[in-house]
A and B are shown apart, each in its own frame.
Chain A
Amino acid sequence: MSLLDYFKLSKPSSASIAKERLQILVAHERASRNQPSYLPQLQKELLAVVQKYVQVEQDAISVKFEQDDEQEVLELNIVLPDDPQKSY
């Protein structure tokens, strides 16, 4: 292996960085493109309901929408606070 090859291997090319960034971005944007448009509003309203009973942070609720040929899955994840005494 020549010295030149060593430098080529040690530092990823700018094109490969571009490809990696684009693959992540495009996957993310495609996923959100296929989501139903009511999702953000649903998340907001769910948060309001949970906050009526439990003290949770803004980011304690995540709503995920997944779709394959067979079915659509709406996944709701609520992270409750560690100390249940804090709830009201």
Chain B
Amino acid sequence: MARIIVVTSGKGGVGKTTTSAAIAMGLAKKGHRTAVIDFDVGLRNLDLIMGCERRVVYDFINVINEEATLNQALIRDKRCNQLYILPASQTRDKEALTKEGVGRVLDELSKTFKYIVCDSPAGIERGANLAMYYADDAFVVTNPEVSSVRDSDRMLGILASKSRRAEKGEEPIKEYLLLTRYSPERVKLGEMLSVEDVQDILSLHLLGVIPESKSVLTASNAGIPIILDEKSDAGQAYSDLVARYLGEDRPLRFVDEKKSLLGRLFRV
């Protein structure tokens, strides 16, 4: 039986796909058979971030419509043999994604995979609703910025009321906060909401803080999930986050501002 994780946020551009790619790779690298699914029908992008865009033959909708088998559509990652990608369709027909169809695909994946990561599109339309509907865990990706925090709170409301678990009266989806694009320097200057501020507002279990990092763009340019860049702050923060999710104890890093050379010399 697989654990289904939805990566969601409401707001666009906060780092859902970057996070989906990173955590899926992280879980797979820890030896867990993992599938990552792009739910953004019409605006497929996970394939680009994962670097497998030229290997897409069949997609999620083809599988739902039984035009292809799951094995035909799943793309095996070339860097990690435990990781598979199910790309979104580029069709403009949003109706193609159905609750029954998604349920069927997830059921079939559950037989052979340990983790299924659902990369939600932005917004609160069909794709986003179906990405979270069957979830066991929700990773709520939030930027320390007013509109992102508000939209995250809105998603929490939807997770609590419109999911399968909510409808069936089962144990609710476990919700985790992932604070991304965090800049400790700006927090220190009072220009950015701090980790504590966002936690105070959303009252969510914090799974990790990803610092703002140039490496994220560099990695996406090359189609490499950021977690594979072990030298970057962001990559290391994602590794910590995955370890924490799996129950390891990892202290928070990259939440205090970097000391200048002078500061380090004088230990202030």
Contact = CB atoms under 8 A, between A and B. Distances in A.
Interface of A: 8, 13-16, 18-19, 21-23, 25-26, 29-30, 33
14 contacts: A13-B190, A14-B191, A15-B192, A18-B145, A18-B146, A19-B193, A19-B201, A22-B193, A22-B201, A23-B200, A26-B149, A26-B153, A29-B154, A29-B157
B70 interface: no
A11 to B, nearest CB: 9
A22 B192 contact: no
B107 interface: no
Contacts of A14: 190-191
Given A13-B190, A14-B191, A16-B190, A33 B150 contact: no
B257 interface: no
Contacts of B193: 15, 18-19, 22
A5 B190 CA distance: 13
Centre residue among A13, A15, A23 by max chain B CB count within 10 A: A15
Given A23-B201, A26-B201, A15 B190 contact: yes
Nearest to A16: B190
B180 interface: no
A30 B192 contact: no
Contact of A22 (B150, B154, B190, B191): B150
Nearest to B196: A19
B153 A29 contact: yes
B149 A33 contact: no
A18 B200 CA distance: 12
Contacts of B202: 26
Contact of A25 (B150, B191, B192, B197): B150
Contacts of A18: 145-146, 193, 197
Nearest to B201: A22
Contacts of A16: 190
A22 B157 contact: no
Given A13-B191, A26-B150, A19 B200 contact: yes
Contacts of A15: 187, 190-194, 197
A65 to B, nearest CB: 16
A82 to B, nearest CB: 40
A59 B80 CA distance: 63
Contacts of B191: 13-15
Nearest to A12: B190
Nearest to A11: B190
B17 to A, nearest CB: 25
A14 B149 CA distance: 15
Centre residue among A8, A23, A26 by max chain B CB count within 10 A: A26
Nearest to A21: B146
Given A13-B191, A15-B190, A22-B146, A30 B200 contact: no
Given A16-B190, A29-B157, 4 more contacts: A15-B190, A23-B200, A26-B150, A30-B157
A51 to B, nearest CB: 34
B187 A30 contact: no
Nearest to A27: B201
Contacts of A33: 157
B144 to A, nearest CB: 8
